[in-house]
Each structure stands twice: as C-alpha cells, then as structure tokens.
C-alpha cells in the first residue's frame, strides 16, 4: 500500500520505517524539503532497501492510498491547506496531540478539526505512546503486544488502519466513532502529564480481570 505522511519528524520516521519493513511505500513531506529528503533516505537506510521518497505536502497527500498526519498543532491548519483537495474522501490517520498536555482544549478536538478541514475519513490512532515505542519491533510489554485504540466512522478507513496496526505487531482496538476521539486525545494529555511528572501512568489501571463485570463484546 502507498502511504503519504504529512510530517518529517520522529513519528514519520518511526511509523513510516516500520511500514516500509512491512512492504508498504511511503512518501514523506515537511516544511524543509531537504530535511524531508534526508528523512526518506534515513528510512531507506534503516530498512536496507528503497521504500521511502520525499515530496511536497500536496505530493504526499496525492500519493497515498492512506495519509498520516504527523505535524505539530501550531502548523496543522496551514499544512492541511497546502496538502490540498487530494485529502477529500481519503482515509487519514491522525497521530497528533495537543501542543501541551496541561492546555488541551476538549472543545477543539484535533481529529474533528482535521476531518472538517479536509473532508477526509479520519481515524485517530497511535497518539498514546512516545515515538520510541513505535520503533520497537514489535512493541511488546510483559509478553503482551501493545494495543492501539482506533476512533473513526468510516469502515474502510478503519479496516486499513487496523492492518497497519497489525503490521507493527500490535493489536487494534475498537475505540468507537470519531466523536470519541476527543476522549482519546484527552487521555493522551492526562497520561503525558503524569509521565512528565515521573509517574508510571500505566499503573493507574487494573487488569481486565479486576475491572468489574462486563457484558460480552
């Protein structure tokens, strides 16, 4: 599958390189064309074969069967405008988080903003972990593969992203519709705040067996 990536930072490197290893082709874009080109070359070097190239925002958007948005919140609107109409109706993976966890605004969810600005089928995913987690092959903790919640409304987009989650060796989880992405973003803001404070945020949740009685899924 061809994947366009808006952004040439750590998330582009970590996720994009893993997807190249899984056999996909990636187009990386960024504000600095030379940095984007260097990022693509670095990804190819890590994998040991060509699978990444660089391009403009619009070229990355047009090239991908699915497009990942991995840019900072401050530049989000400008980047999506530069990516252009190719994003309309396309599956879009939103991996973004707010600029600062203590200032996350639940009235302005990023996933909904991306959907409104692009007309694409947005799936919120991959925003709960530090970039180094996505460099693990695979991300396994205590013998248990990492689970990745997905929030989105479009069945085809969700199916494509589930496959990309599995390509990392992770387990996709149904997190509900795109309206629930705000909860996923708020969860990230809360957990990141705990991690920044030196707390083991994972320790705040009990295992499933101790979470009470539930109806079968």
Q: Going residue by residue through the chain (217 aa), what tens digit of pLDDT does each one get?
A: 999 999 999 999 999 999 999 999 999 999 999 999 999 999 999 999 999 999 999 999 999 999 999 999 999 999 999 999 999 999 999 999 998 888 899 999 999 999 999 999 999 999 999 999 999 999 999 999 999 999 999 999 999 999 999 999 999 999 999 999 999 999 999 999 999 899 998 889 888 888 888 876 5
Dihedral sign of CA atoms 190, 196, 202, 206 in order? negative
| pLDDT number for residue 122 | 98
CATH class of this structure's domain 2-203: alpha beta
> How many alpha carbons lie under 13 Å from residue 89 in its C-beta half-sphere?
2
Domain ranges of the chain: 2-203
Residue 130 is encoded by which pair of tokens?
Answer: 């530090």
Cα dist from 90 to 43, 52, 85, 104, 132, whole Å: 25, 20, 10, 27, 28
Residue 5 is encoded by which pair of tokens?
Answer: 């990536």
| pLDDT number for residue 217 | 59
| pLDDT number for residue 216 | 63
Sheet holding 52-54, edge to edge: 52-54, 25-29, 2-6, 66-69, 91-94, 121-124, 147-152, 171-174
Cβ neighbour number for residue 216 with a 10 Å cutoff: 3
| pLDDT number for residue 211 | 87
| pLDDT number for residue 209 | 87
Question: Beta partners for 173?
Answer: 149
Owner of token pair 């990942």: 68
Q: What is the pTM assigned to this prediction?
A: 0.95
Cα dist from 194 to 101, 140, 183, 200, whole Å: 10, 21, 17, 7
Rg of the chain taking only CA atoms, in angstroms = 17
């Amino acid at each position: 599958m061809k994947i366009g990536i808006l952004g040439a930072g750590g998330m582009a490197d970590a996720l994009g390189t893993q997807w190249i290893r899984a056999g996909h082709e990636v187009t990386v874009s960024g504000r600095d064309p030379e940095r984007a080109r260097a990022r693509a070359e670095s990804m190819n070097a890590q994998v040991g074969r060509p699978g990444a190239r660089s391009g403009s925002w619009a070229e990355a958007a047009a090239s991908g069967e699915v497009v990942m948005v991995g840019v900072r919140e401050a530049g989000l609107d400008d980047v999506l405008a530069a990516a252009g109409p190719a994003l309309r109706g396309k599956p879009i993976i939103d991996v973004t988080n707010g600029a600062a966890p203590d200032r996350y605004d639940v009235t302005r969810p990023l996933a909904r903003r991306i959907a409104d600005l692009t007309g694409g089928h947005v799936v919120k995913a991959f925003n709960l972990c530090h970039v180094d987690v996505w460099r693990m092959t695979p991300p396994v903790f205590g013998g248990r593969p990492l689970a990745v919640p997905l929030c989105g409304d479009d069945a085809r987009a969700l199916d494509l992203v589930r496959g990309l989650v599995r390509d990392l060796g992770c387990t996709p989880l149904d997190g509900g519709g795109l309206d629930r992405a705000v909860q996923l973003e708020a969860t990230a803001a809360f957990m990141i705040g705990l991690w920044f404070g030196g707390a083991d945020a994972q320790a705040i949740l009990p295992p499933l067996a101790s979470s009470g009685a539930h109806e079968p899924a």
